[in-house]
Amino acid sequence: MIQTGIFGASGRMGTLLVQEVQNDSDMELSSVYARDGVQDLRARNLPVADSIEEFLQSCACVIDFSSKEGSMELLRTAQNLGLHKPMVIGTTGLSQGEFENLKTLSQHCPILYASNMSMGVAILAKISAIVAQTLKDSDIEIVEYHHRHKKDAPSGTALTLAQSCAKARGLDLQNVRISGRDGIIGARSKDEIGVMSVRGGDVVGKHNVGFYLDGEYIELTHNATSRLTFVKGAINALKWLVSKPNGLYSIQDSLGL
- By the criterion CB under 6 A, which residues form the site for ligand NAD? 8-14, 34-37, 65-67, 69-70, 73, 90-93, 114-117, 230
Q: Between 69 and 172, whose beta carbon lies closer to ligand NAD?
A: 69
Q: Between 128 and 155, whose beta carbon lies closer to ligand NAD?
A: 155
Whole-number minimum distance, CB 237 to ligand NAD, in Å? 10
Whole-number minimum distance, CB 174 to ligand NAD, in Å? 21
Q: Between 2 and 18, whose beta carbon lies closer to ligand NAD?
A: 18
Kindly give the pairing relationship between strand 205-212 and strand 217-224. Answer: antiparallel
Q: Between 90 and 194, whose beta carbon lies closer to ligand NAD?
A: 90
Task: State how far the alpha carbon of 155 is from the alpha carbons of 8, 149, 163, 244, 249, in Å.
Answer: 19, 12, 12, 28, 20
Q: Is 79 exposed, middle or buried (0-12, 13-18, 19+ CB in 10 A)?
A: middle
* Closest residue to ligand NAD: CB criterion: 11
Residue 222 near residue 121, CB atoms below 8 Å: yes
> If you count them, how many residues does the chain have?
257
Q: Helix, strand or coil for residue 112?
A: strand
Distance CA 159, CA 172 (A): 12
Whole-number minimum distance, CB 222 to ligand NAD, in Å? 12
Residue 18 near residue 48, CB atoms below 8 Å: no
Whole-number minimum distance, CB 210 to ligand NAD, in Å? 22
Our measurement of the distance from residue 6's CA atom to the centroid of its chain's CA atoms, rounded to an integer in Å, reads 15
Whole-number minimum distance, CB 176 to ligand NAD, in Å? 24
Q: Between 119 and 218, whose beta carbon lies closer to ligand NAD?
A: 119
Answer yes or no: 150 catalytic: yes
Task: State how far the alpha carbon of 199 is from the alpha carbons of 49, 148, 234, 238, in Å.
Answer: 34, 5, 24, 30
Distance CA 60, CA 84 (A): 9
> Of these residues, 146, 207, 222, 232, which one is catalytic?
146
Residue 31 near residue 62, CB atoms below 8 Å: no
> Of these residues, 68, 126, 150, 239, which one is catalytic?
150
Q: Between 7 and 211, whose beta carbon lies closer to ligand NAD?
A: 7
Whole-number minimum distance, CB 70 to ligand NAD, in Å? 3
Active site residues: 146, 150
